[in-house]
Structure 1
């Protein structure tokens, strides 16, 4: 079966450190990998990108088609994406801009690539401008599983602080529609979903693999591991309530949303601290990545 046009571009991009020929020769091109909203499968597309105000942007233009492209619908469901830019590969959180910020960034995109203005003229939908936010934290040295656990915990703590700051800004005056920075709803939603997905992935991995392995090799930890597993379920229930509230954040009650977020912060911080105290000494003896 012949390769699709996109797959041909993807393979050429990866084989030539991000350089491609044909209609994209000399253009600013990246590969974006999203997680399917319906399938949960990874899907990669080549996209033009723009840099503006120090930000990395992609526009969900679909050449002016009446509907949003699938990759945009995917990142609304799963905000954490993988970006390939030249020889660089990194994870990012995809955050669509809103309101005046979106308009300003779209104007910058049109100045850089006038074709986006033509695409907008051919459709009644507002073309989304997506900011790809890369984690700029200094990478940690990871030599063992204890280091890896601390790396994940540091990311979770940082994301939760970020979400709380954005929620405080969004609900600035405590009343829906009063005093909110314009267009912050999607930003809160995307960062909160990214945090929740990261938390789910981490706890699922521990429950399915790490905790059972520790229970076999260190039976004296069984009571501790049972407690940590129960804490996973408590934190998971709070996470599910937050995700449900996010679906209608524009009408969410500020006090309830903040209360759930505070409850998440309290429960999660206590859980992470207990897990570090109980498991880091044991995990420090397990090489990471694993060796045969």
Structure 2
């Protein structure tokens, strides 16, 4: 599909609550926004989807083209994607299926949408089947975010839950096993690393400088936390390097790095919460918007 055609479909989708005409009329369609593998810029494409046993699936068929579509290459580099489905928008982790699981899911897709079977029959490329996982709120997460302290705890709860998840997958990963977790583990681990980077960048660029101005007595604590960010960032970069290929060639080293990350991150999060939550509890979130001038 051409870029102009895609743009028209995207505009129509957003203007009509997910309903479009033309070749997609009456079909199941979503918008997938990925982050460019090289550019780092967002890219949105309309895609057909299939639901199977509660899973939301998309297929990188490219209508039978000999190469994987760009959106698939993007999500291998950046697994956290944005999904627009009807009037709903949410973030998801894109996880391609492997081995027997991939065949099982592709067969389920073809039963619902036979065109994918027709496309597959005319190319030697095996179509990736991607599960769009919508992370559930982990137990203990604040139900309502009213202050910056609540927001910090929400982010910390997500990071702890994701790290526990990837550590469990790393322990279960056995190279060469037919139903191995290599690609699934890789995507979840990269998603954790992206979330960690985003959180620490936000703290370093906005939250910590603001606290330094409003609470100068925290200057020493903030400097310590910033140094911890740098240490944890170095571990994260080592994890990303290990995950640079699609296959995990050294799972034992990955397990060691994840245990190191867990120890450093848990210590850092506990320290940050003990020192900063009292100050952040008095700051509303989201920030109140200023009223009209003169009122």
TM-score band by shorter chain is over 0.9
Describe the shift of the 1:255–1:186 C-alpha distance in structure 2 as closer, same or farther (beyond 3 A): closer
What is aligned with 1:12? 12
In the alignment, does 2:221 pair up with 1:224? yes
Structure 1, 241-250 or 146-155: larger mean CA deviation: 241-250
What residue in structure 1 maps to residue 148 of structure 2?
145
Matching residue of 1:110? 110
Q: 1:92 and 1:105 mapped to 2: Cα distance?
A: 18
The TM-score normalised by the length of structure 1 is 0.94
Residue number in structure 1 paired with 2:293? none
Q: Which moved more, 1:90-99 or 1:13-22?
A: 13-22
Q: Tell me, what secondary structure is at the counterpart of 2:44?
A: strand
Distance in 2 (alpha carbons) for counterparts of 1:122 and 1:111: 18
Instruction: Please report how far the alpha carbon of residue 248 of structure 1 lies from its aligned counterpart in structure 2 after TM superposition.
Output: 4.5
Instruction: Determine the structure 1 residue equivalent to 2:83.
Output: 83
Asked if 1 retains the 8 angstrom alpha-carbon contact of 2:18 and 2:30, the reply is: yes
Give the corresponding residue for 1:244. Answer: 241
Q: Distance in 1 between matches of 2:84 and 2:42?
A: 14
Which one of the candidate residues 264, 275, 278 is aligned to 2:275?
278
1:156 aligns with 2:168: no
Q: Does the Cα contact within 8 Å between 2:242 and 2:248 map onto a contact in 1?
A: no
When normalised by structure 2's length, the TM-score is 0.93
Alpha-carbon RMSD? 1.6
How do 1:30-69 residues align onto structure 2 when only pairs under 5 Å count? 30-69=30-69
- Is 1:165 aligned to 2:168, yes or no? yes
| Cα separation, 2, equivalents of 1:35 and 1:64 | 23
Following superposition, the deviation at residue 49 of structure 1 comes to 0.2
Q: 1:287 aligns with which of 269, 284, 295?
A: 284
CA contact (8 A) 1:30 1:46 kept: yes
Deviates more, 1:14-23 or 1:269-278: 14-23
Per-residue deviation at 1:144? Answer: 1.0
* In structure 2, C-alpha distance between the alignment counterparts of 1:59 and 1:252, rounded to whole Å: 26
CA distance in 2, matches of 1:98, 1:254: 17
Gaps of 5+ in 2: 291-295
State the alpha-carbon separation in 2 of the partners of residues 39 and 279 from structure 1: 35
Task: Give the deviation of 1:252 after TM superposition.
Answer: 3.3
2:208 pairs with 1:211 = yes
The whole-number CA distance in structure 2 between the counterparts of 1:250 and 1:20 is 39
- Consecutive unaligned residues of structure 1, counting only runs of 5 or more, are none
